[in-house]
Structure 1
Amino acid sequence: MRVSGSGPGSMRLRLLLALAALWLSDANEPGTAMTTRDINQQTRESISDYTVKGHDLSTPGSHLSTQDFNQQIEENISNLTSAMYSISIDGFSSAPVEENVTLYSPANITLLCNLTRTSTDSATVEVTWKKDNERVESRNVTINEIKNVWSTQYTLKIRDRNQMGNYTCVFKSDQEVQATFHLQVPQIEGKEHHIVSYVGDSVVLVCKSLKYIPINWIWYMSNGSDQVAVNDSLMPDKYIVDEKYANITKLKILNISEKDDTSYWCQAVFKLGESKGKVSLKVLTYMTPLKPFLAIAAEVIILVAIVFLYEMYSKKKQMHAEDEKEFEQIEQLKSEDNNGVENSTTRHRKV
């Protein structure tokens, strides 16, 4: 079969025939099979080879460059979803508005900001977009004004984690107001919680991702300022990782000791990044519940001792006072007796 012509239609037909021939040749070989990913890869390689040879893929009269055509082919192969997220701002006096945007996988998204102006607002409005406080290119930004509403949208083709982050639309005239979209991967349910257990027991740490299924789960434990990966092969008689359900991961720690008193991190791996959850494990000894009782008992003993010592001191002081009083009385009696003898002698002499 012979194919003639040099236009895009002829090129596409050549590619289709090449793909069919490759598929048939591989199908005839036992034990081989070509996947969709392989076909897509060969399609891109065929297009690249055809471009290198100097052929123009654009049709006469069109302005579609080779790069744009390849990009369109790539987008068709990827078959990504599209979505729009919007924030409405009620005048320049509004506080900054924020919205979380959860992305599970690569997608084409549009971020839309609508600002409602009042009659007292300035007629001149400057609109800019920022990514993590850095101004972005304006070619993907459109601005429209309808009556008292300013509208701006930013089109994004999210392909990897580097494109995730905070995107902010800024409206500026005499005043300034802004709205921020936080592009993030799915979050772990209950990102931080605490568990208390005792020495010698076993404990199970659980992390969940309810709406989305991660590609992989990874467990870490804190070791000072470092994080050490925890898995079955590390200490099989100590740690058991259960991933029976794709959206739930469990870490079972056997025969825990006081050394296991630390923080554990579960990390859910997605196509556009990772999300972490923290589980803090507090390990107690069996003497720990007795410590409050012992502390109270010690306080009672100390209090009783203080009261006892005070009573003894008071009693001793009282006895000392009584002895002094008795001594004074004796001395007084002796003095009176002496005075009586002297008076009698004087009387006898006078006689």
Structure 2
Amino acid sequence: MPAAFFGNRPGRRRLLLLLLLCVSLSGGSPADLTVATQDTSQSQANSLTKMHAGFNESSSASLGPGHTMQLAGQMSVVNYGKYELLLDGDSRSSMERHITLHSATAIELSCRLSKKYSHLKNPEVSWKRGNETIGNVHKTGNSWNIRLEVLDSSKLGSYSCNLIGEEISSMVHLQLPKIDENKKPIISYEGDTAVMICKSHDYAPLSWTWYMTNGSKQVAINDSLADKYVIDRKPTNVTHLKIRKVTEEDDGVYWCEAAFNLGKSKGKQQLIVLSFLVPLKPFLGVVAEVIFFLTVVFLYELYSKRKANAEDEKESDQVEQLKTEEKSGLEKSSARQRKN
């Protein structure tokens, strides 16, 4: 202990003598003093342990969204969240929520009945997953609650709370993070480099995997084909697939898969590979139309000329025939005059 507390050495001796005197008057011994000191230390340690345990129990019971808690029988720490649905019977404001989960999570889903149904004496609300009714529904006031421990994708899906006897329900969807994909097809020309991108907003996957569709199968694209495919995974929530010197065989559907603790999500991309003749098709079409038009004009002119020549020849033949007839008529009249 510090010297300021005990003072000098004579002061220490006086304190020790005083302690020995107290022990003697109480009928104890110096050994009892040591044991008493150890018991006091042990009781203080036990008190601290109980306080710590009590703090853990109370904190686990009062956790809210964004905090962590330890699930029963599980050693890993997971997230905890509480979400509420409202049963009000108004289809326009019928509540439907989408909850995105990427890691193990303890969830409490609460279904609260609107005040407009306060006239009901004993309202009953059931929770369902699909067509399966869920047990262990806890009623608190005007709310019916269920608790889920979502440790894998088997607990994901759609949950609904329904007012028994009435066609009133609300729904919540537990889902993995969605992959932001390009809805429009990616168009590239033969020999170019095609780039496809997938994103996972707000959530970083553990890993990314790209697949290409081969008939009805999906074939994984690995990094061993670096001369053809380049996969970039930085930052972790974005992935790029580069296909070098694309050919018509690369045309098709590609999938990007993001792996999370709870499961895997996929995004779809479509690649269309065009030949260099494709941009020339409109031009070739125009050229073909011009050639066709010129051919028709040429044939029409040729036909017109032939027809004109034929008519000219016919007219000349008629003129020659008239001349011949006139000549023969003159000769006949001359002969008659001579006879007379």
The structure-2 alpha-carbon separation of the partners of 1:239 and 1:342, relative to structure 1 and needing over 3 Å to count, comes to same
1:169 aligns to what? 161
The structure-2 alpha-carbon separation of the partners of 1:206 and 1:104, relative to structure 1 and needing over 3 Å to count, comes to same
> How far apart, CA to CA, are the structure 2 residues paired with 1:212 and 1:182?
18
> How far apart, CA to CA, are the structure 2 residues paired with 1:99 and 1:93?
14
The structure-2 alpha-carbon separation of the partners of 1:72 and 1:231, relative to structure 1 and needing over 3 Å to count, comes to closer
| Displacement after TM superposition at 1:91 (Å) | 2.6
The structure-2 alpha-carbon separation of the partners of 1:312 and 1:103, relative to structure 1 and needing over 3 Å to count, comes to same
1:307 aligns to what? 297
Matches within 5 A, 1:235-250: 235-250=225-240
Q: Which TM-score applies when normalising by structure 1?
A: 0.63
> How far apart, CA to CA, are the structure 1 residues paired with 2:220 and 2:163?
46
Indicate the larger mover: 245-254 or 110-119: 110-119
Counterpart check, 1:209 vs 2:207: no
| Displacement after TM superposition at 1:326 (Å) | 5.7
Q: Is the 8 A contact 1:127 1:171 kept in 2?
A: yes
1:136 aligns to what? 133
Aligned pairs, number = 272
> How far apart, CA to CA, are the structure 1 residues paired with 2:97 and 2:333?
114
> How far apart, CA to CA, are the structure 2 residues paired with 1:252 and 1:217?
14
1:190 aligns to what? 181
Letter aligned with residue 225 of structure 1? S
| Displacement after TM superposition at 1:344 (Å) | 9.1
2:100 aligns to what? 102
> How far apart, CA to CA, are the structure 1 residues paired with 2:294 and 2:205?
63
The structure-2 alpha-carbon separation of the partners of 1:259 and 1:72, relative to structure 1 and needing over 3 Å to count, comes to closer
1:271 aligns to what? 261
Q: Is the 8 A contact 1:220 1:229 kept in 2?
A: yes
The one of 209, 220, 241 aligned to 1:229: 220
| Displacement after TM superposition at 1:214 (Å) | 0.9
> How far apart, CA to CA, are the structure 2 residues paired with 1:141 and 1:341?
137
Indicate the larger mover: 249-258 or 157-166: 249-258
Letter aligned with residue 83 of structure 2? Y
Q: Is the 8 A contact 2:153 2:262 kept in 1?
A: yes
The one of 293, 309, 316 aligned to 2:306: 316
| Displacement after TM superposition at 1:116 (Å) | 4.1
Structure 2: gaps spanning 5 or more residues: 1-45, 50-69
Letter aligned with residue 160 of structure 2? T
Letter aligned with residue 156 of structure 1? L
2:10 aligns to what? none
1:49 aligns to what? none
Q: Is the 8 A contact 2:71 2:77 kept in 1?
A: no
> How far apart, CA to CA, are the structure 1 residues paired with 2:329 and 2:168?
109
Q: Is the 8 A contact 1:87 1:114 kept in 2?
A: yes
2:152 aligns to what? 160
Q: Is the 8 A contact 1:141 1:154 kept in 2?
A: yes
2:73 aligns to what? 74
Q: Is the 8 A contact 2:71 2:106 kept in 1?
A: no
Indicate the larger mover: 190-199 or 239-248: 190-199
2:243 aligns to what? 253
> How far apart, CA to CA, are the structure 2 residues paired with 1:124 and 1:314?
100
| Displacement after TM superposition at 1:265 (Å) | 1.2
Q: Which TM-score applies when normalising by structure 2?
A: 0.65
Secondary structure in structure 1 of the residue aligned to 2:185? strand
Letter aligned with residue 146 of structure 2? Y
> How far apart, CA to CA, are the structure 2 residues paired with 1:171 and 1:199?
60
Secondary structure in structure 2 of the residue aligned to 1:201? coil
1:181 aligns to what? 172
2:82 aligns to what? 84
Indicate the larger mover: 189-198 or 247-256: 189-198
Letter aligned with residue 109 of structure 1? I
Q: Is the 8 A contact 1:92 1:117 kept in 2?
A: no
Deviation digits for residues 237-278 of structure 1, max 9, x if unmatched? 222322343222222323332222222211000111111122
The one of 278, 289, 300 aligned to 2:279: 289
> How far apart, CA to CA, are the structure 2 residues paired with 1:93 and 1:270?
35
> How far apart, CA to CA, are the structure 2 residues paired with 1:117 and 1:331?
117
Letter aligned with residue 101 of structure 2? L
Letter aligned with residue 201 of structure 2? L
Q: Percent of pairs identical after alignment?
A: 38
What's the RMSD between the two structures over aligned residues? Answer: 3.8
> How far apart, CA to CA, are the structure 2 residues paired with 1:332 and 1:294?
56
| Displacement after TM superposition at 1:286 (Å) | 2.9
Could you say which structure has the larger radius of gyration? 2
Deviation digits for residues 175-225 of structure 1, max 9, x if unmatched? x24332221111122354533333233333322223111111111111111
Q: Is the 8 A contact 1:95 1:177 kept in 2?
A: no
The structure-2 alpha-carbon separation of the partners of 1:72 and 1:295, relative to structure 1 and needing over 3 Å to count, comes to closer
Q: Is the 8 A contact 2:89 2:169 kept in 1?
A: no
The structure-2 alpha-carbon separation of the partners of 1:80 and 1:340, relative to structure 1 and needing over 3 Å to count, comes to same
The structure-2 alpha-carbon separation of the partners of 1:84 and 1:337, relative to structure 1 and needing over 3 Å to count, comes to farther
Secondary structure in structure 2 of the residue aligned to 1:296? helix
